[in-house]
Amino acid sequence: MQIDINGRTIPVQAGQTVLDVAREEGIWIPTLCHHQGLEAYGACRLCLVETGSGDRGRIVASCALHVSDGLMVGTDSPRVREIREMIMQLHLAVAPDAPRVRELAQQLGVGQPVLARHGDGQCTLCGICVRVCRQVGANAIGFAFRGSRRQVTAPFGARAAGCLGCRACEESCPTGAIVFSESGGRLFGEHWQSDVPLSRCAVCGRAFAPQPLPGHLQQRYGLEFQQADRCPECRRQQAAASLTAQARYNLSP
């Protein structure tokens, strides 16, 4: 099977998306709501490409477009560039302070924001946090309301009671809108008032592991942890000590 991107013929495999292929080939397509570990969502509209040509051209999200034999794709046509610019302007209106958004705007050559500012300045509602939270099995946060009132929230706008403290949302948020902090042996996620107690290390006493997390990982993924009561630093020290002890009594190189 082969497709054509910007005039270049590329052999592809069934099941790949145009975005996958473009990335492999070093053809840049901007994305924001795309995440390798998650199914295509189609919210940000930045990855749009043109298929077919001229009047028959269709604008499609490349993250969800599966390859088919003979597919013709344009990732940089004038029509695509104009749409991308306006979509970027919409992102700038909603999250002008997010470094990733500013970076994308720069890469796309989109200069001054031309639209009225709207929103809290950080969240673009890409949905990665919600999707990741669902995938991990916590379902602590979700989308509520609709239209321009749509928001990511814990039910009833209250504390995110199901939060495991895994911080996958923080890790994968592309705009840095999600921030967790530790204090007094607890982990706080300000956005959704997550408040998760941390277990303390049996050796040094430092608070380190979100209490609900190991149990959840064990139950959902069957993951067992050796020395789960020790923080990573103490575990490392202990491992180093036992390796050294082994080496001392091991005569062969």
Give dist(CA 87, CA 234) in Å, integer.
48
Mind giving me the DSSP string for 168-191?
Answer: HHHHH-TT----EEEETTEEEEGG
Quick one: which segment of 123-131, 165-173, 183-191, 244-252 binds other proteins (CB under 8 A)?
123-131
- Report, in Å, the least distance between residue 25 CB and other proteins: 23
When asked if residue 162 is in the footprint of other proteins (CB under 8 A), the reply is yes
Identify the sign of the CA torsion 23, 39, 213, 192. Answer: positive
Residue in 38, 90, 217, 228 binding other proteins, rule: CB under 8 A: 90
- Exposed e or buried b for every residue in 57-82, given b needs 16+ CB within 10 A? beebbbbebebeeebebbbebeebee
Amino acid identity of 171? E
Quick one: which segment of 69-77, 90-98, 170-178, 240-248 binds other proteins (CB under 8 A)?
90-98
When asked if residue 148 is in the footprint of other proteins (CB under 8 A), the reply is yes
- Report, in Å, the least distance between residue 110 CB and other proteins: 12
When asked if residue 154 is in the footprint of other proteins (CB under 8 A), the reply is yes
Residue 209 CB: number of other CB atoms within 10 A? Answer: 21
- Where on the chain is the footprint of other proteins (CB under 8 A)? 40, 42-45, 48, 59, 61, 64, 66, 79, 82-83, 86-87, 90-91, 93-94, 114-116, 118, 124-125, 127, 130, 134, 139-150, 154-156, 162
